[in-house]
Amino acid sequence: MVVPGKEQRHAAHAPTRAGRATIVDVANLAGVSRQTVSRAINDKGEIDPATKERVLAAVRTLEYRPSRHARGLRRPGSVTVGLIVSDLANPYFPEVAAGMLEVAKPQGWNVTVCESRNVPEEEREALDLLSRQADAIVGYCDSADDVLARYASGLPIVLLERAPDETRFGSVGIDFEAGVREGVRHLMGRGHRRIGMLDSALPGTHSLRGEHFLAEVRAHGLPVDEDWIAPADGQSVAGGEHGIALLLDRHPDLSAVVGFNDLIAIGAMREARRRGLRVPDDIAVLGFDGLTLGELVEPPLTTLCIDKRQVGRLAVEQVTQMLKGKEPAAGEGAWVVPELSVRAST
């Protein structure tokens, strides 16, 4: 909705930077003070009905979403961090949340968790919700940087397992290249040369883990090409069962497989046993993530462990820096290197 007769004024006072509108933008467009805007949107105090409608029309025009601070919901000294994860049923993400809580709770901070389920619309809904209820956002977000800036302008944003283009965003990265390198070399050290991978990526593409896998096996001259990477149908045990079935049908002589994550690797072990194969005698299986669950399956899963609590701790440390107006950390201070944990599956 456009305020009648205000088009030129809107053009003059609309926000010119990339990002969401502020209370100042609304006040300028409506021709009132910030205090009047606050009274209108919070329905508090005496205000002329026509003025209130003009303010609310400006709010709608600019798609203004008041933050917790603007609505007076934030207590002095309190901080709420919003965490966006893709799948709460995956035990990987609760461990990251636990790492955040370890650092946040002693500071009196709160952590609010939202689930995107890898659905763009649900991710945007989570961003919209947290931009109004949180003081900072941490997350596994697929949205482009300009979308993130629009939903969370003015809030510290820390992206997990993704390097942002916006340098003002923080990030906590995983050195997938180092992890895959160590995993492939471990399998080769056990005599394996026909190594496949179960990947999780959009159709026709490879994940970073998949790209590093191909680069590593090619660097060693193994008889492996893209046909040795099969898609897992979801980052789950069932996805691993599906993927290994495809891979074994293509390459019955497969001697080892790398799973995109531990759940996929566990699914691969189940399907291999269903086909009468012994793990690791007939086929070795290597996971990625280091879930506690991997220690409980039979045989226990060899995996590339990511210190998930460290990921959460580093994210909170970055938020702390950014709330103080400092630049987000970079380099080793924002990087987690997977470590090989050798168990019985390889």
Does the pLDDT of residue 1 top 60, yes or no?
no
pTM for this structure? 0.79
Contact of 112 with 133, CB cutoff 8 Å:
yes
Residue-wise pLDDT for 57-78, tens only, equals: 888 788 776 655 554 444 545 8
Contacts of 242 (CB under 8 A, 6+ apart): 232, 233, 267
Contacts of 115 (CB under 8 A, 6+ apart): 84, 85, 86, 87, 88, 122, 126
pLDDT of residue 18: 43
Give the C-alpha separation, 211 to 224, whole Å: 13
Contact of 40 with 58, CB cutoff 8 Å:
no
User: Residues in the chain, how many?
Assistant: 346
> Which of the residue ranges 13-17, 72-76, 87-91 would you say has the lowest mean pLDDT?
13-17
> Which of the residue ranges 108-122, 225-239, 316-330 would you say has the lowest mean pLDDT?
316-330
Name the token pair of 152. 């969370």
Does the pLDDT of residue 218 top 70, yes or no?
yes
More confident residue, 163 or 188: 188
pLDDT of residue 20: 58
pLDDT of residue 10: 33
Give the C-alpha separation, 149 to 15, whole Å: 13
* CA-based torsion, 219, 172, 229, 190: positive or negative: positive
More confident residue, 16 or 109: 109
pLDDT mean over 243-258: 97
CA-CA distances (angstroms) from residue 183 to 213, 221, 228?
9, 16, 16
Q: What is the percent of the chain with per-residue pLDDT over 70, rounded to a whole number? A: 88
pLDDT of residue 35: 81
Does the pLDDT of residue 8 top 80, yes or no?
no
Average pLDDT, the chain: 87
Does the pLDDT of residue 208 top 90, yes or no?
yes
Contact of 139 with 151, CB cutoff 8 Å:
no
| Long-range CB contact pairs, 146-151, < 8 A, 24+ | 146/18, 149/18, 149/19, 150/18, 150/19, 150/20, 151/20, 151/124, 151/127
Which of the four pLDDT bands, split at 50, 70 and 90, describes residue 166?
low
Which of the four pLDDT bands, split at 50, 70 and 90, describes residue 275?
very high
pLDDT mean over 290-297: 96
Give the C-alpha separation, 87 to 330, whole Å: 27
